[in-house]
A = this chain, B = another copy of it.
């Protein structure tokens, strides 16, 4: 992995590619959604891609991530297979969970993407437990746990912080703070905005990134991970970001009145996808874009063509080692 301080043009290409792939894949999911071929609720990350990409680009393939039901970005940024994801959304047996999990339960163990959960906060301690195993393994691997601002209200979040810090486990805690849990703003949920302060008092170094700067996120994580590989304990990132679409489903929802389209416009003005894209020359960018369109089209085609699981599959995988 290149030095975090100086980015090569290859780094920029890779980061752009990842941002663009997520953005376009989700836009296509939104486009296809009304056709009812997607058999799953979808929680889109459009507008939030920079957090997943910034963090995952600082990790190696051997490192581990765990995400949430809003997990397309995490899955793709960590190298999850697009075909398998699309097929999963379509409920097909070629999906990453054989159609049994859907969009909220993406998983790809071969890429070290742990399975996501639809119950908020639930995967945070799992990433900590995985990190416990990584520490025991002694190969310097780390785990990154993604979760929303809402998840920090669940008690398990604090329990997990305490344990990870107590045992100095190699965990990157990443809070994607998009200011809303469904439609409820932080002001109705948090007694104080001092999230980093609360976390720091568990003895965990914290970073508050308020502009979604993908390079800054990447650098912070890369520096911290380098130390973790030598035995340092967890860090915590509060990354401000913004969800451009509705909480669940393919549409925008600014007319609902719980938030203001202007807020989104402010975020869009500093959209990291555009920012990073602008660093590339037009040819390179165009080439990447075309490749991505092909990949997405191929993934949708793959999903469409794949079969549903056969009826017997209902009864398989209840227990491991069963059939």
| A interface residues (Cβ-Cβ under 8 A, vs B) | 153-159, 161-166, 188-192, 194, 197-198, 200-204
B198, A194: Cβ atoms under 8 Å? no
Distance A154 CA – B157 CA, assembled complex (angstroms): 10
Q: In angstroms, how far is the closest chain B Cβ from the Cβ of A204?
A: 8
Contact of A162 among B156, B159, B162, B190 (CB under 8 A): B190
The 9 closest A-B pairs by CB, nearest first: A155-B155, A165-B191, A197-B201, A192-B203, A198-B201, A166-B191, A194-B201, A158-B158, A155-B159
- In the complex, which residues of chain B have a beta carbon less than 8 angstroms from the beta carbon of A189? 162, 166
Q: In angstroms, how far is the closest chain B Cβ from the Cβ of A195?
A: 8
A194, B190: Cβ atoms under 8 Å? no
B166, A159: Cβ atoms under 8 Å? no
- In the complex, which residues of chain B have a beta carbon less than 8 angstroms from the beta carbon of A155? 154-159
Q: In angstroms, how far is the closest chain B Cβ from the Cβ of A125?
A: 10
- In the complex, which residues of chain B have a beta carbon less than 8 angstroms from the beta carbon of A154? 155, 159
Shortest Cβ distance from A161 into B: residue: B191
Q: In angstroms, how far is the closest chain B Cβ from the Cβ of A185?
A: 12
Q: In angstroms, how far is the closest chain B Cβ from the Cβ of A109?
A: 28
- In the complex, which residues of chain B have a beta carbon less than 8 angstroms from the beta carbon of A190? 162, 166
Contact of A192 among B163, B164, B201 (CB under 8 A): B201
- In the complex, which residues of chain B have a beta carbon less than 8 angstroms from the beta carbon of A200? 197
Contact of A165 among B153, B159, B161, B192 (CB under 8 A): B192
Distance A61 CA – B267 CA, assembled complex (angstroms): 54
Shortest Cβ distance from A194 into B: residue: B201
Q: A154-B155, A154-B159, A155-B157 are in contact. Are A191 and B198 (CB under 8 A)?
A: no
Distance A194 CA – B161 CA, assembled complex (angstroms): 13
Distance A12 CA – B202 CA, assembled complex (angstroms): 39
